Amino acid sequence: MDEFMAAAIAQAQQGLAEGGIPIGSVLVKDDKIVGQGHNKRVQDGDPVTHAEIDCLRNAGRIGNYKGTTLYSTLMPCYLCAGAVVQFGIKKVIAAESANFAGAKDFMEAHGVEVIDLNMYECKRMMGDFIEKNPSLWNEDIGE
């Protein structure tokens, strides 16, 4: 596993430790992490603080997103995929999409290269969370 996905997983674990949903994200530019975050919907009481949104907020104004890669422990949803497309991020690496298919087709239709690593560790972490917290998970995905 590369250092960037390891950092995203660490963010997901931090979110879980805080009582939130275990999804983490990292934004990389020029082989350096410029932003990282985790889902804080529960912690902040904010319905749009998904991991990728928190990551982009923490990156701040970096000017141009050309050459950036967004790592996420779960395939981004339409909200986060919209931010990816809006800012022109051209590559997304997701640890898994078994627990949530997300908006892969949407991103690809807008010229984003999407790689699904199908990582057992992340599938297990998210699957365990969903099994223990189905109502919270359904709230997160809008069901």
Residues 31-53 pLDDT 10s: 999 999 999 999 999 999 999 99
Q: Let me know if 96 is a catalytic residue.
A: no
Q: What pLDDT is recorded for position 82? A: 98
Q: Of 4, 80, 9, whose CA–CA distance to 35 is shortest?
A: 4
Q: What pLDDT is recorded for position 122? A: 97
Q: Of 114, 53, 102, 58, whose CA–CA distance to 78 is shortest?
A: 102
Domains and CATH numbers, the chain: 3-141 (3.40.140.10)
CA distance 132 to 85: 33
Tell me which of 3, 18, 52, 139 is the catalytic residue.
52
Residues of the chain with pLDDT under 50: none
- The Cβ of residue 43 has, within 10 Å, a number of other Cβ atoms equal to 15
